[in-house]
Structure 1
Amino acid sequence: MEAMEDAMKWRKMYACGLLFILPWTAGAAAAETSGLAGDNNRGPYIAIDLSAGAPNDPVADGVYEADLGFEAGLRLGMGYAFEGLRLEGQIGYENFYLNNVNPLPGSPLSEADTTGDLSGPVIMANLLYDFGAPGGSRPFLGGGIGFARMKADYHGFYCSIFTLQCWDGEQVVGGSDTVMVWQAMAGLSTPMSSGNGEWYIGYRYFGSNDIELNVIGYGPVTQEGVQAHSLMLGWRWQLPTY
């Protein structure tokens, strides 16, 4: 049964991978049929962006609260622009840094200092819209949906006041799960001073479905999905068409 579940999860990842290449293939076909290659507001492009922000503190089945302190993400996208509308496939990596695991009343866990992270690769299909004509600053809105393979590594740690050093302890929560994720973006893009591209800055919301994890010595638990409100900074380059 577990093998079948894993197979289904990876089929979902594969399906989302197809979504990643669809914008590129669709855009190439559109360029051939419309003769719009070379238009500064249309054509294929690549983009890279990073984010940093504040996540939620998800609860796991009344066992613990994960005090997440910081979100950091990096993404690479490939897409096609149809004037203001853009279709984009994106791969990336999300990392949620753990401040502490706080046991809830009746929990099998004991109070202890913990650290670690919840992280994994993400693949998404995005739809975005740029307002205004190219050549100047333009606001944009967008959203996306996809899948992530999130892995938890929450472990204890201890420090020595004499040597001013800290060491990792035993793992408290582990496991990984493939979950559906989504994002929403809003910001402002501005042409680069040199080159055929833009840089952009804005707000990004990221969310996920609940995540199935494992408390060491206790068993499986369902941790609430992660959410993050982040600042996003990125660059986008228009690719040449022939």
Structure 2
Amino acid sequence: MTSNKRILMAALSGAFMAGPMASAAFAADYGPVYAQPEAVPVIVEPAPVAVASGWYLRGDVGHSFNSETDGHYRVLDSGIITERDYDTIELRGNTDFSVGAGYRFNRYLRADATLGFWKRDVYGSTEFSDVLFFDDTSKITAWEMMANAYVDLVTFGKITPYIGGGLGFTRVKYGTLKNRAFCYDPSICGNSYEADHGGLTSTRFTWALMAGASVDITRNTKLDFGYRYSHVRGGKAFGWDAFDQAAGATGPQGYDDGFSVHQVRVGLRYEFGGPQSAVYQPEPLPVYDQGPAPVYK
């Protein structure tokens, strides 16, 4: 064997022996490579929000629209009393006021007691015969005491719609009623005349239904927009004039059949117990567990 062949064989033998050792050194330099596991979302639940309960105060201003009702009155003629029905009784709209105090039991249920005041002009008219007509005008003042309960529905951001109902009593006081009679044929019914009838006071059962929404202004202060329908039971309205009293008439002469009142309201509510807003938190974002990170050497 020639010297060249010996040199070539020695080189091949060295390369063969160095191959495994070089691979091991290469692997040792770079370290292990970990396969990445499939990402699994881990949901982080938000902490529960405490909904405060406790006392609150409220004040409201409302506008009531015109409404109509019925009624009847008694007539004394030659010692005989008969009853007649009004063709219409109209209650004119006006501004109403109320204040109250209440208690929130939880984020859904609250209740309050309110004291309200309203004043109206009232008009009544009837056609007594083909030639005789009556017009009555008066004023009504009323104090209303109500116990109310509300259910707050789903909260959308700072807005919480609600529904509610109430029961109570209204102290209705009529002012002096001006009665005017118009006779279009004096030969039949005489001349027209005017007379005053003393107003009467009565306490009447009242019920109401409410719907609206409250808006969070601050953590404790709510702005309330709502609609309210209430019905005041009928009762006595006015007494006899001086002429009929002299003829022996006693007791009430006129009655109304009650009032149905449609009202829009705006008010403020201050809750001492703290906020009940932000009941619904945003959906939690998923946090992905990436597993152990690879270590490179």
TM-score normalised by L of structure 2: 0.56
Deviation at 1:135, TM superposition (A): 6.0
Q: What residue is the counterpart of 2:162 in the other structure?
A: 140
1:145-184 → structure 2 map (5 Å cutoff): 145-156=167-178, 171-172=196-197, 174-184=199-209
Residues 148 and 181 in structure 1, CA contact (< 8 A), matched pair in contact too? yes
Residue identity opposite 2:128 in structure 1: P
Residue identity opposite 1:143 in structure 2: G
Residue identity opposite 1:151 in structure 2: K
1:72-83 → structure 2 map (5 Å cutoff): 72-82=95-105, 83=107
Q: Distance in 2 between matches of 1:172 and 1:123?
A: 28
Q: Distance in 2 between matches of 1:40 and 1:117?
A: 46
2:139 equivalent to 1:117 = yes
Q: Distance in 1 between matches of 2:99 and 2:127?
A: 38
Residue identity opposite 2:101 in structure 1: M
Residue identity opposite 1:139 in structure 2: P
Q: Which is greater in Rg?
A: 2
* Equivalent position SS for 1:44: strand
- CA-atom RMSD in angstroms: 2.8
Equivalent residue for 1:238, pick from 250, 254, 271: 271
Deviation at 1:203, TM superposition (A): 0.8
* Worse-matched range after superposition: 218-227 or 230-239: 218-227
Q: What residue is the counterpart of 1:229 in the other structure?
A: 262
Equivalent residue for 2:124, pick from 96, 101, 107: 101
Tell me how many residue pairs correspond in the alignment.
189
Residues 104, 152 of structure 1: CA spacing in aligned structure 2 closer, same or farther, 3 A cutoff? farther
Q: Which has the higher contact order (CA 8 A, sep 6+)?
A: 2
Q: What residue is the counterpart of 2:34 in the other structure?
A: none
Residues 116, 222 of structure 1: CA spacing in aligned structure 2 closer, same or farther, 3 A cutoff? closer
Residue identity opposite 2:96 in structure 1: G
Deviation at 1:139, TM superposition (A): 0.4
Q: Write out per-residue CA displacement over residues 80-131 of structure 1, whole angstroms, 9 at most, x where no aligned residue.
A: 1122101111111122322x3213435xx9545x543222111111010111
Deviation at 1:198, TM superposition (A): 0.4
Residue identity opposite 1:182 in structure 2: W
Identity among equivalent pairs (%): 23
Equivalent residue for 2:89, pick from 66, 71, 94: 66
Residues 55 and 96 in structure 1, CA contact (< 8 A), matched pair in contact too? no
